[in-house]
Amino acid sequence: MSGAIASLLEDFSSGPRSEALGIGILRAAKAVAEPDLTPSPPVVDRQAELLKAVEAKVRAEERDAARLQLEEAVAAERTRYEDELASQRVIWVEQQAGQLSTLIVAGIGRIESMLSERVANILIPFVSEAFRQQSITELKEALATLLLGEEMGPMKIAGPEDLLQALKANLGPHGAAIEFLPGDHVEVSVITRDTTVQTQLQAWSDRLEQVLKAES
């Protein structure tokens, strides 16, 4: 009977069974103590993403609007500059045309006066004062025909078209005897051939010779 009772009691001796039990307890404790290190899936903040998308769209629209304003401002400034440059060009052309036309007319007048005076001084010993005055008048008319008429030969003025047009308008009747050659030139050039006064005034010289022969 004592053997049967002994078989029902748990063996608490330090044998293999107690070792297995201790290992199991340690494994259970380790399993409870160690946390689960598996990362959890990130939480998606839909509202934050939507807010970022809206902000990005607003910034892009602001950049586009700023670029458009800048382009419009640059175009307006370019147009204003071109208009101002054209206006200044018109003023400059008018000023230059007025000055050039004045110089040309004044130069022609000086040539007429100089030649008439020299010829008149030569005539003083030979003709009377009345005929001298008449000769001076005729000489001035001949010089005007020579310098500004068709007998003179071509006088050409080359330069910018708008400047030549204004110059021609300022010259008045003198401009009809001048050939204007518009081109891409920056400077204005006046071209004429050499003029021989003796040849052009042959009729006046023949008349003077006849008068001198008649008075001698």
**Lowest-pLDDT choice from 13-22, 72-81, 183-192:** 13-22
For the residues 142-168, what does the mean pLDDT come to?
62
Task: Look at residue 106 and tell me if it is in a domain.
Answer: yes
Residue 154 lies in a domain: yes
The per-residue pLDDT for range 156-177, each reduced to its tens digit, is 667 777 766 776 777 677 667 7
Q: Could you tell me if residue 157 is inside a domain?
A: yes
Assess if residue 143 is contained within a domain.
Answer: yes
Q: Quote the number of domains for the chain.
A: 1
Token pair of 55, please? 């902000």
Question: HEC states along 56-98?
Answer: HHHHHHHHHHHHHHHHHHHHHHHHHHHHHHHHHHHHHHHHHHH
**C-alpha angle with apex 177: 163 to 166, nearest 5 degrees?**
15
For residue 196, what are the contacts with CB-CB under 8 A and spacing of at least 6?
none
List beta partners, residue 189. 158
Bridge partners for 158 per DSSP: 181, 189
Mean pLDDT, the chain, whole residue set:
66
Q: Could you tell me if residue 4 is inside a domain? A: no
pTM: 0.36
Report whether 190 contacts 157 (CB < 8 A).
yes
pLDDT of residue 168: 73
Backbone angles phi, psi at 155, to 5 degrees: -115, 125
Host domain of residue 108: 96-215
pLDDT band at residue 148 under the 50/70/90 scheme: low
8 in a structural domain: no
The encoded tokens of residue 200 equal: 């052009």
* Residues forming beta bridges with residue 1, ordered by sequence position: none
Does a structural domain hold residue 72?
A: no
Which pLDDT does position 161 carry in this prediction? 79
Q: With 80 as the cut, is the pLDDT of residue 113 above it?
A: no
Tokens of 20: 């297995």
pLDDT of residue 106: 79
172 found inside a domain: yes
Angstrom distance (rounded) from CA 132 to CA 210: 14
Q: What percent of the chain has pLDDT over 70?
A: 39
pLDDT of residue 197: 36
Report the DSSP pairing between strands 155-159 and 189-192: antiparallel
Measure the CA–CA gap between 90 and 76, rounded to whole angstroms: 21
Higher pLDDT, 131 or 201: 131
